[in-house]
Structure 1
Amino acid sequence: MTLLELLTLLRKHLKFVIVLPVVCAVAMFFVAYFMMADEYTAVTSMYVLASSEDQGESALSTDLSASQMITNDVATLLTSNRVVADAAQELGLENLDDFDISVSSETTTRVLSVSVTGENPVVAADIANALATNVSSIAQEVMNVESVNIVDLASVPNSPSGPNRVLYVAVAFMAGLFAAVVIIVLIDTLDTRVRNAEQVEELLGLPVIGRIPQVKGGR
Structure 2
Amino acid sequence: MPVEETISLHDLFRVLKRRSVFIISTALFAVILTGIISYFFLTPIYQASTQILINQKQTEQIQVNAQDIQTNIQLINTYTVIIKSPAILSKVIENLDLDTTPALLEKKIKVETTQDSQVIKISVNDPEHYKSVDIANTIVEVLQEEIQILMNVNNVYILSPAVYLENPLPAKPNPLLNMTIAAVSGLMIGVGIAFLINYLDMTVKTERDIEELLGFPVIGIVSPITEVEVNKIKGLFGRIWGRGRQDV
Taking structure 1 as the reference length, the TM-score comes to 0.82
Q: Does 1:89 align with 2:99?
A: no
User: Which aligned pairs between 1:62-81 and structure 2 lie closer than 5 A?
Assistant: 62-81=67-86
Counterpart amino acid of residue 161 in structure 1: P
Counterpart of 1:177?
A: 187
Counterpart of 1:30?
A: 36
Q: How many residues end up aligned between the 2 structures? A: 217
Counterpart of 1:148?
A: 156
Residue 124 and residue 211 in structure 1: after superposition, are their counterparts in 2 closer, same or farther (change >3 A)? same
**1:75·1:103 contact (CA, 8 Å) conserved in 2?**
yes
- Compute the RMSD of aligned alpha carbons: 2.9
| Secondary structure, aligned partner of 1:63 | helix
Higher strand share: 1
Counterpart of 2:117?
A: 109
Matches of 1:173 and 1:32, distance apart in 2: 14
**1:40·1:157 contact (CA, 8 Å) conserved in 2?**
no
Aligned-residue sequence identity (percent) comes to 24
**1:48·1:145 contact (CA, 8 Å) conserved in 2?**
no
Q: CA deviation at 1:143?
A: 4.2
| Secondary structure, aligned partner of 1:54 | coil
Matches of 2:204 and 2:150, distance apart in 1: 77
Q: Deviations over 1:168-215 (max 9, x none)?
A: 121122221111111111111222344433234334443334456677
Counterpart of 2:66?
A: 61
Q: Does 1:160 align with 2:166?
A: no
Q: CA deviation at 1:126?
A: 0.8
Q: CA deviation at 1:107?
A: 1.9
Counterpart of 2:25?
A: 19
Matches of 1:77 and 1:40, distance apart in 2: 24
Q: Deviations over 1:51-70 (max 9, x none)?
A: 3x638567642232121020
Q: Does 1:49 align with 2:55?
A: yes
Q: Which runs of 5+ in 2 are unaligned?
A: 1-6, 231-248
Q: CA deviation at 1:121?
A: 1.2
Residue 54 and residue 60 in structure 1: after superposition, are their counterparts in 2 closer, same or farther (change >3 A)? farther
Q: CA deviation at 1:140?
A: 3.8
**2:112·2:120 contact (CA, 8 Å) conserved in 1?**
yes
Q: Which runs of 5+ in 1 are unaligned?
A: none
Larger radius of gyration: 2
Q: 2:45 aligns with which of 36, 39, 43?
A: 39
Residue 175 and residue 144 in structure 1: after superposition, are their counterparts in 2 closer, same or farther (change >3 A)? farther
Matches of 1:59 and 1:133, distance apart in 2: 26
